[in-house]
Amino acid sequence: MAKSSLPADAASANSGLPHGTYSANEIRKTIRGKRREIPLHLQRESSLKACDLLLSLAIIEKVKHVALYVSQDGELDTKPLIEALWAKGIHTYLPRLHPFCLGQLLFLHYHVDTILVSNRFGILEPKLHVRDVMPIKGIDVMVTPLVAFDVKGQRLGMGGGYYDRTLAHWRDIGRPIPMGYAHDCQQVPHIEIQPWDIHLPYIVTPTQVIAV
Ligand SMILES: Nc1nc2c(c(=O)[nH]1)N(C=O)[C@@H](CNc1ccc(C(=O)N[C@@H](CCC(=O)O)C(=O)O)cc1)CN2
Ligand SMILES: Nc1ncnc2c1ncn2[C@@H]1O[C@H](COP(=O)(O)OP(=O)(O)OP(=O)(O)O)[C@@H](O)[C@H]1O
């Protein structure tokens, strides 16, 4: 199991995790707990601030197709962002677990008529319609959920490897550009990466944009 050490000087970075060395699963448990404790009014305020920050990025000016996710488990709420993208005429896409390929995601167009159903993790995902399927390379920006991140753009997810697989080859053609979207309390001083982990060139929180 990978260990992520937290240097003393940064020990109380936004996550507030005390100084120490933590396994990926320990970080997941702690940060998911913190995320869930965020009161509803702060969740709402944070989602609006992060939405504004993301939309202010220069790279968003030219995008036509953006993938997001349906928030759960205290994740930064994507709803205001989805509505703002729709208002700009930008197409949005949501992941669903692939019906045949274990560990893979399929991205489907998310529109006003989309029916959302719960998957086996209890996460809402679009009902499968072949006409809605979008190839990964057709997406300009992929807003990814995450459990923890660090200042270098390293990401720790839920542990399924779904986004690492989805984004494994994005640099070959330069799209979709991965963009982490998270609460500030999900920042930890250091995440020890594994060879398959995808680095995030952008992370947007309610108060900052990390671009590396
Ligand atoms: N909102 C959202 N959608 C997403 C993700 C995400 O992180 N957030 N994913 C990011 O990859 C994918 C789903 N990945 C997941 C990977 C592992 C677990 C998991 O272990 N969940 C349970 C325990 C298992 C169970 O109930 O059977 C848990 O909550 O502890 C959940 C989702 C696709 N959709
Ligand atoms: N590109 C890949 N090809 C094959 N297996 C992969 C790939 N990326 C990750 N995996 C496998 O997925 C498993 C989970 O990886 P990891 O713990 O990094 O997931 P995560 O990034 O936390 O999850 P997620 O992306 O779903 O939020 C690992 O055992 C890893 O071997």
Instruction: Tell which atom from ligand 2 comes closest to the C-alpha of 197.
Output: 18
Q: Could you give the 3-state DSSP secondary structure of residue 56?
A: coil
Name, in order, each residue with C-beta under 8 angstroms of 80's C-beta and a sequence gap of 6 or more: 47, 48, 51
- Residues 162, 124: Cα–Cα separation, whole Å: 16
Neighbours of 134 (CB within 10 A): 18
Q: Whose CA is nearest to atom 12 of ligand 2?
A: 161
pLDDT in tens, 81-135: 999 999 999 999 999 999 999 999 999 999 999 999 999 999 999 999 999 999 9
Task: Find the 55 Cα to ligand 2 centroid distance in Å.
Answer: 29
Domain boundaries, the chain: 8-14+30-211
Surface-to-core class of residue 142, CB atoms within 10 Å of its CB (0-12 exposed, 13-18 middle, 19+ buried): buried
- The residue type of 115 is I
Whether the CB of 101 sits within 6 Å of ligand 2: no
> Model confidence at 21, in pLDDT bands (50, 70, 90)?
confident
CA of 189 to the centre of ligand 1 (A): 23
Q: Is the CB of 175 under 6 A from ligand 2?
A: no
Count of CB atoms within 10 A of residue 202's CB?
19
d(CA 116, CA 202): 28
Q: How many whole angstroms separate alpha carbon 162 and alpha carbon 150? A: 19
Q: What is the mean pLDDT of residues 157-175?
A: 97
Task: Please measure the distance between the N-terminal and C-terminal CA atoms of the chain and give it in whole angstroms.
Answer: 26
Ligand 1 atom 18: residue of nearest CA: 158
Q: Is residue 197 scored above 90 in pLDDT? A: yes
Per-residue tokens: 204: 């947007």
Ligand 1 pocket member 181 (CB < 6 A) = no
Residue 98 CA to ligand 2 center (angstroms) comes to 15
Q: Does the complex come out with an ipTM higher than 0.85? A: yes
Does pTM surpass 0.90? yes
Tell me the residue type at 170.
W
Quote the tokens at residue 200.
């995030």
Is the per-residue pLDDT at 190 higher than 50? yes
Q: Is 53 exposed, middle or buried (0-12, 13-18, 19+ CB in 10 A)?
A: middle
Average pLDDT over residues 185-212: 96
Between CA 142 and CA 175 the distance in angstroms is 9
Ligand 1 binding pocket includes 126 (Cβ within 6 Å): no
pLDDT above 80 (res 7): no
Confirm if 81 and 51 have CB atoms less than 8 A apart.
yes
Residues 33-53 have pLDDT tens digits of 999 999 999 999 999 999 999
For residue 2, pLDDT over 60 is answered with no
Ligand in closest contact with the CA of 123: 1
Cβ–ligand 1 distance for 162 under 6 Å, the answer yes
CATH architecture entry for 8-14+30-211: 3-Layer(aba) Sandwich (3.40)
Q: Is 70 in the pocket of ligand 2 (CB under 6 A)?
A: no
Q: What percent of the chain has pLDDT over 70?
A: 93
CA-nearest residue, atom 2 of ligand 2? 165
